[in-house]
């Protein structure tokens, strides 16, 4: 008998429970108890279930991959946030400069795997995953673009590159926390799906699925914890109190944006 799969929301909540600051923990819990969170969880899980259990037209798979990629390949904007922090450090005095440097170092750890400093860069893993899932590189054609997923990407880009630094860091934390749930949820079915839909052997499917499985479990969870630590260093540098209410509103906004993008992906099926 197969065990009930843990929901994206419950996985994200487990990450939140690891925080050592109970006020931020309660604030993020509250964000995950919002209507926006419930809708984001329900819609995104429905998308993954449709993708992996229904016999999909390759056109649908390509459109899913294009939209999903637009939502996720955003490590460049995390590097941009790190550059912003390093520029602030360059003109700050001690002890603020050191604390801002610490925040930048935490942000760097969020993209260690993405940039490939220890293993294969994640854009290469995604290309292999997508090529295998759709049979070729068609998913990259402009006709598969999803305006809603592009809007989600623009929101993430703007928050990290141009928004106030605290909100930029918290949007990144929200993303890593949500993605812990999303990738972990998808990783439970992705290998079986590739075997069934592409007729692959287990080892071929596992290799192609590495983009998804590499992010599941502790990977994105670790990034979330780095983002929260970065936020705390930054608040200390600027001598302001950590504001859990800001963490809640930024997270809730992030979840409502996620929901809109997945709503559009759901209409593909």
At closest approach, how far in Å is the CB of 227 from Fe ion?
9
Task: Using the minimum distance from each CB to Fe ion, give the nearer residue, 226 or 233.
Answer: 226
Tally Cβ neighbours within 10 Å of residue 205. Answer: 20
Instruction: Please report whether residue 182 would count as binding Fe ion according to CB under 5 A.
Output: no
Q: How many whole angstroms separate alpha carbon 99 and alpha carbon 216?
A: 30
Which of these segments, 81-89, 147-155, 174-182, 228-236, binds Fe ion (CB under 5 A)? 174-182
Residue 226 found at the interface with Fe ion (CB under 5 A): no
Cβ of 77: how many Cβ atoms within 10 Å? Answer: 21
Does 223 sit near Fe ion (CB under 5 A)?
Answer: yes
Strands in 21-147 per DSSP E: none
Please report whether residue 220 would count as binding Fe ion according to CB under 5 A.
yes
Sign of the dihedral through C-alpha 130, 132, 137, 141: negative
For the CB of residue 74, give the shortest distance to Fe ion in the complex, in Å.
9
In the shown chain, the binding pattern of residues 33 to 72 toward Fe ion, with x for contact by CB under 5 A and - for none, equals ----------------------------------------
106 touches Fe ion by CB under 5 A: no
Q: Do residues 55 and 61 make contact, with C-beta atoms less than 8 angstroms apart?
A: no
Among 45, 88, 106, 114, binds Fe ion (CB under 5 A): 114
The nearest distance, CB 213 to Fe ion, in angstroms, is: 12
Tally of CA atoms within 13 A in the half-sphere of 220 that contains its CB: 31
Of 177 and 197, nearer to Fe ion (C-beta) is: 177
CB of 180 to Fe ion, least distance (A): 8
Smallest separation, CB 96 to Fe ion (Å): 27
Complex with Fe ion: residue 176 or 259, whichever CB lies closer? 176
Does position 210 interact with Fe ion (CB under 5 A)? The reply is no
User: Half-sphere exposure (CA, 13 Å, Cβ side) for 164?
Assistant: 10
Query: What is the DSSP-derived secondary structure letter of residue 139?
Result: G
- Contacts with Fe ion by CB under 5 A: the residue count is 5
Q: Tell me the closest approach of the beta carbon of residue 100 to Fe ion, in angstroms.
A: 21
Dump strand ranges (E) for the chain: none
Min dist. Cβ of residue 220 to Fe ion (A)? 5
**Residues in Cβ contact with 27 at an 8 Å cutoff, skipping those fewer than 6 apart:** 244, 245, 247, 248, 251
Residue 144 burial class via C-beta count within 10 angstroms: exposed 0-12, middle 13-18, buried 19 and up: buried
Q: Is 122 among the residues that bind Fe ion (CB under 5 A)?
A: yes
Report the helix count and the strand count for the chain, using DSSP H and E.
14, 0
Q: Which stretch binds Fe ion (CB under 5 A): 34-42, 106-114, 134-142, 165-173?
A: 106-114
Interface positions with Fe ion (CB under 5 A): 114, 122, 176, 220, 223
């Amino acid at each position: 008998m197969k065990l009930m799969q843990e929901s994206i929301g419950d996985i994200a909540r487990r990450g939140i429970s690891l925080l050592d600051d109970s006020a931020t923990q309660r604030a993020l819990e509250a964000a995950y108890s919002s209507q926006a969170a419930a809708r984001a969880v329900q819609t995104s899980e429905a998308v993954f279930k449709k993708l992996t259990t229904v016999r999909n037209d390759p056109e649908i798979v390509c459109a899913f991959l294009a939209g999903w990629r637009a939502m996720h390949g955003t490590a460049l904007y995390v590097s941009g946030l790190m550059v912003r922090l390093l520029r602030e450090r360059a003109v700050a005095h001690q002890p603020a400069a050191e604390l801002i440097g610490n925040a930048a170092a935490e942000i760097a750890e969020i993209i260690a795997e993405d940039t490939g400093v220890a293993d294969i860069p994640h854009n290469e893993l995604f290309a292999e995953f997508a090529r295998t899932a759709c049979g070729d590189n068609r998913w990259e054609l402009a006709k598969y673009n999803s305006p809603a997923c592009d809007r989600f990407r623009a929101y993430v880009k703007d928050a990290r590159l141009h928004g106030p630094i605290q909100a930029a860091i918290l949007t990144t934390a929200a993303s890593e926390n949500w993605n812990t749930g999303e990738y972990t949820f998808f990783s439970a079915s992705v290998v079986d799906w590739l075997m069934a839909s592409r007729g692959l052997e287990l080892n071929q499917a596992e290799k192609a699925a590495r983009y998804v499985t590499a992010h599941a479990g502790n990977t994105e969870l670790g990034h979330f914890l780095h983002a929260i630590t970065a936020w705390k260093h930054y608040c200390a540098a600027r001598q302001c109190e950590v504001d859990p209410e800001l963490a809640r509103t930024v997270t809730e906004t992030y979840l409502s944006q996620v929901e809109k993008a997945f709503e559009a992906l759901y209409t593909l099926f």
